Amino acid sequence: MNRGFLIWAGLLFLFANPSFSQFNEKPIINLQNEDKAFLNWGYYLGFNIFDFKVNQRNDLEPILVETTVGFNVGLIGEMRINNHLDLRFEPGLFYSQRSIGFPGFTEENDAIRNVKSTYINFPLLIKASAKRIGNWKPFIVGGIAPSLNLGSGEDSLDDNASGTFRMKKNVLNYELGFGIDFYTEYFKFTPSIRGVFAITDELVPDNDPNSPWTGNIDALLTRGIFINFTFE
């Protein structure tokens, strides 16, 4: 499963699901006061694809990254600023796995590193919404998202020479995305698509500065796509 599939699947859900579309000419208005509260709470579930952007020092054979689908789960706290802006805090747990293929090796045990990451994410976001139309309202969202990588291996004394790929615990990202709020009879349901982009380098270099694994990497930066389903 690749990024393109996730994006198109998310778009198809956003715009083709008859259970939540409610694009009727004169729908019954649900939850009319839902967005008027100063504070709102909710939770989200979803899935992700994490990738790496690898900046190499020399123009040699590229380092390859293979991605898989992971999952997301988290909570939402929202503070109303005005009719169109909200400040959101969305702490969550994100699990992902990536495989990195290094050139120049003949043995798979040396050439492949499977990187399993469990991130605790602390995004602080601004949500900018359009005017509500019936029972739906589109929005864009973006902000800063510090993360803690519980599986980083940063403190390990071993490195790739012993089969251990190390990453930094603390990462700073930014997030950008869009979605649609659907107002059902009992709750607000929100599918959304979001991209995450690391600002800080995550690589912990090997002890040997000329390491065949990390010696040619100038920076390793996470890139990812989330598709989340929110209930408020």
| Range 148-166 burial, b when 16+ CB lie within 10 A, else e | ebeebbeeeeebbeeeebb
**3-state SS class at 20:** helix
19 band by pLDDT with thresholds 50, 70 and 90 = very low
Q: What is the pTM of this model?
A: 0.81
Rounded mean pLDDT, 13-26: 50
Is the model's pLDDT at 225 over the cut of 70?
A: yes
Rounded Cα distance between 116 and 149, Å, is 10
How do residues 81-129 score in pLDDT, each as one tens digit?
998 999 999 999 999 999 999 998 888 899 999 999 999 999 999 999 9
Residue 107 structure tokens: 């043995």
Token look-up 């999952």 returns: 71
How do residues 28-65 score in pLDDT, each as one tens digit?
888 877 888 899 999 999 999 999 999 998 888 899 99
Is the model's pLDDT at 1 over the cut of 60?
A: no
Does residue 9 or residue 112 have the better pLDDT? 112
How do residues 129-143 score in pLDDT, each as one tens digit?
999 988 989 999 999
Sign of CA dihedral 184, 49, 163, 210: negative
Residue 167 structure tokens: 């990453």
18 band by pLDDT with thresholds 50, 70 and 90 = very low
What CATH number does domain 3-18+40-231 carry, 2.40.160.20, 1.10.10.10, 3.40.50.300, 1.25.10.10? 2.40.160.20
Rounded mean pLDDT, 204-211: 92
CA distances from 149 to 115, 116, 119 (A): 11, 10, 4
Rounded mean pLDDT, 181-203: 93
Token look-up 């996470």 returns: 222
2 band by pLDDT with thresholds 50, 70 and 90 = low
| Burial group, residue 26, by CB count within 10 angstroms (0-12, 13-18, 19+) | exposed
21 band by pLDDT with thresholds 50, 70 and 90 = very low
Is the model's pLDDT at 188 over the cut of 50?
A: yes
Per-residue confidence (pLDDT) for residue 14, from 0 to 100: 47
**3-state SS class at 160:** helix
Rounded Cα distance between 70 and 47, Å, is 5
7 band by pLDDT with thresholds 50, 70 and 90 = low
* Range from 15-24, 66-75, 151-160 carrying the lowest mean pLDDT: 15-24
CA distances from 104 to 49, 56, 209 (A): 27, 15, 17
Q: Please state, rounded to an integer, the average pLDDT across all residues of the chain.
A: 88
Domain ranges across the chain: 3-18+40-231
